[in-house]
Structure 1
């Protein structure tokens, strides 16, 4: 086969090797399009085939998870750990328990994690893992037994200098505690092998809030660079997990007007803006099946069943739920409503055609690999605290988070200008800055 360009050759290789893995292909293509010009002028990058090596996981571990429900019946799930790249440090990335989890989603998340972790400046590689286990409607004892069975299989592949998992969707402090307890028993050691632990045994302050807070800190850096400010800006946030809730909390405390939160069942619309006391009520009730509708029933805003936030006018759209949640028609509504900024709190929340449409518009688009890197940065700080047996205060960690987000912003700004434009492209800046760090590490370490 004859190729018209290096891009065509890479794209054919990518699609041939990963057939049916649409999420992974989408993630790789988005980054590859920005970094191909960099590769074309660096012979060492071409010689070492850095993009191909980054797009191929170091290994994918797949295993059976057998556990017992409360009726004594055996259940069988599938578990994965995708160890994408460790050229910068031990593999680092969360575990996700959800019935939609599959290899393609975990590969996309692990690939994105490599670039996100590179932007933090910390010595962290990229990985991701999880299971198609659905913890909804399971008892606490069932979740414990599942976590113990999962870690029994995973433990031989992780460790403080090898692979350090963390939480993700449906894996919070409870699940992390059960996973860590089983690891400790099997490994006969107390080390920083998992982050997101409860404070009582090695967890870190600010960890629960870090991703959401970091999204707002990054947004403020973006707005400051544009001689703008967050005060009185109307923000539509999607999601009702930690990222969404703590982004809302920090935004409100900095003078913004948060007008929506959402989940898979619908959207809570608060036209006049969410009050801190009402948000705290939602946070305290976040484990409920529908904390947002419960809040609406208590008089907090209007519940819009089966609706998303994207048709509602705002200044800032902040998708904080899941991948591909903003589709082409949503992107068009955002443009029609003259939204000024789209700031991703989730990983790859835009479908491919939605991303293309927003990139071609005049609004400022901030990719999640930059704006939601606060969570993994705080995980890195937790690893450091565990290694030194020295917990840090909330204030110290919060300042370290602010500094990290400012550092990421400066990298994106520096690499975000194209030769023919005087407007920064944050997506390009994030991709190029992270790629350079990863590529240089690959070249330096040889093959």
Structure 2
């Protein structure tokens, strides 16, 4: 049975079984990925996943059930399971079904062409990237992984209150990860990698550029040394800045605020960052890989400025947190798969770009550091307090130019203080996920080295 047939049969038989209000949440995904190592196919995977969750009101109580199978035998199981656990649960206000928003924006994030990419083209691309990387620089010791993949996903939310939302999305990716040494006899090894993606066609990806960039990311780290411990101006390149922002993005969740896990509690309307800092969640941005027209509750999404020119304007809400806070729902309900519980999360969160390029930011730095990689983000960050202490890799800047690579350093600070000490916001955001930052230059951060 397809999802439309299953939904129709389930709701019909649910009414016959005594359910009044009912809702279906369906999600599925399909992917094909290939990776090569040392001239041979290392992995070839076809993955299909998905399932459906059902909730329904019976006897004044809400029951829940889920299944991976969309067939006739699953329908009586879902209804029996939901009716059985409904007897054990008390209905609360957060479980009321939502009838849908008045208007939904058009979001184009699906290309049927992507999943139809011939497997041999993915294999060819993976081998090509490995070959290009090995031939690009004699210092490349090996390509640890060269991979190409295509995927698509689907979500439907349908209920008896009139909600009927459906979306499909797709993406293609190519990536490489290499190991470099100055010479075959050298003891020091460094790693680096790169990837790119397309939302329309695998053939849009420049696999040669992916391979060559991955090589450059690795060999540019050779010969790295530490720096004396001190306070320095620090530029976080866009990828490192993105890693840092994503580690602290939960502080803007109304759920985290309500539970006391964010120092932003009670600070709506206050200035929390510099006037050059604007933070936006925009799930309607064309070309963003996480774009979507509705959230996990079926509410229509929209663009929201969380922080505007340093001032905190709103938190991210789902229907329950908005009702509890007496605030407007920002339609940021999230769900970790069809079995997951409703929570709060960003869709396409980013710091609005400035006007300076990374090159201009470097040229304007007398002495300082460019950080391109942050390590230990899970253990080295505390979203509640805002503190971070992270191993970092980057480059030493002197007289407006990169002088040498740097490693064996730790950069420390506080995210909330950082928002107030950003001297320059770069013009180079790279939207590759659901959280993005351009390069950021901090006036001064503590760096531990030699």
TM-score, with structure 1 as normaliser: 0.27
Larger proportion of strand:
2
Q: Which has the larger radius of gyration?
A: 2
TM-score, with structure 2 as normaliser: 0.27
